Amino acid sequence: MSPKTDCSPGAQVNSEGDQYYGVSDDEGSASSLGTGSLPSSPNPSLTRLQAGGCPADEGPGRAPPPECPQKKQKARRGRTKAKSEVVLTKQKRNRRMKANDRERNRMHNLNSALDALRSVLPTFPDDAKLTKIETLRFAHNYIWALTETLRMADHSLLSVGQQELAREPFRQPPSTACLLELTSPGSISPCEWDSLYSPFSQAGSLSPTDSLEEGRSYQAADTAACPRHSPHAFPEFV
């Protein structure tokens, strides 16, 4: 489904930080070359170096260009400004590459966690893979639905207010209720309650229970568990 596998052409160019930087060598060409993703913020060190006159194109293992006599002279004397600039540039580049690597790993970890979460969420096998945001919202609503199920189970176990419960239109746990709804065309499918579809998680305010204490708790719960408004999207989690 996703363009991810081979995605990120930028990644193809860049993912091999070494290669990418190695190819482009100097930071100047690097920024313009590898990353189309150097949008508004060109590397400051880059501009500085370029403006400095002598292109810092001494990449890894490359000798400094002969057209910089001043720097060359200074270089002979020992620790020179030019030399240190090159070193600094290299250090910067190294740090950047390492940071990119870490960031990539971090995002991969994040995606792995999301995948793990997806695998726990009930969906039909033929369902399209949930997007990230859908996964999070669905998970939130799912947890809430399960919580409600437990709460109602406790209620009945304690035989507290059983009579009131008996009068409630939806006495089954959310999953059951939803499944029933799905199989009864005459009734309103919980999944059709757009207004109830994750109003919480979409808003980010996440307090499902706030809106609970209206007779529709279960409907809300059912709805919450329906990831994509599609009646088929509701899983058989029982």
Partner DNA sequence: TAGGCCATCTGGTCCT
Partner DNA sequence: AGGACCAGATGGCCTA
Query: In the complex, which residues of this chain contact DNA (CB under 7 A)?
Result: 1-4, 6-11, 14-15, 17, 20, 30-31, 34-44, 95-96, 98-104, 106-108, 111, 131-134
The single-letter DSSP state of residue 86 is: H
Residue placing its CB nearer to DNA in the complex, 6 or 210: 6
Residue 219 tokens, joined: 């409907």
Which amino acid does the sequence have at 4? Answer: K
Angle, CA of 219, 183 and 157, to the nearest 5°: 50
- Measured from the CB of residue 122, what is the shortest distance to DNA in angstroms? 18
Instruction: Indicate the SS3 state at residue 168.
Output: coil
Please name the residue that has the structure tokens 């209620």. Answer: 155
Which amino acid does the sequence have at 149? Answer: T
List of E strands, the chain: none
Q: How far apart are CA 147 and CA 236, in angstroms?
A: 17
Rg of the chain in Å (alpha carbons): 29
- Measured from the CB of residue 4, what is the shortest distance to DNA in angstroms? 4
- Measured from the CB of residue 10, what is the shortest distance to DNA in angstroms? 5
Residue placing its CB nearer to DNA in the complex, 37 or 73: 37
Instruction: Indicate the SS3 state at residue 11.
Output: helix
Residue placing its CB nearer to DNA in the complex, 42 or 199: 42
Residue placing its CB nearer to DNA in the complex, 87 or 133: 133
Residue 100 tokens, joined: 């990119």
- Measured from the CB of residue 180, what is the shortest distance to DNA in angstroms? 29
Of the candidates 217, 166, 180, the residue with the CA atom closest to the CA atom of residue 196: 217
The HSE-up count of residue 101 (CA atoms within 13 Å, CB side) is 10
Q: How far apart are CA 163 and CA 166, in angstroms?
A: 5
- Measured from the CB of residue 96, what is the shortest distance to DNA in angstroms? 5
Residue placing its CB nearer to DNA in the complex, 1 or 63: 1
Residue placing its CB nearer to DNA in the complex, 119 or 159: 119
- Measured from the CB of residue 137, what is the shortest distance to DNA in angstroms? 11
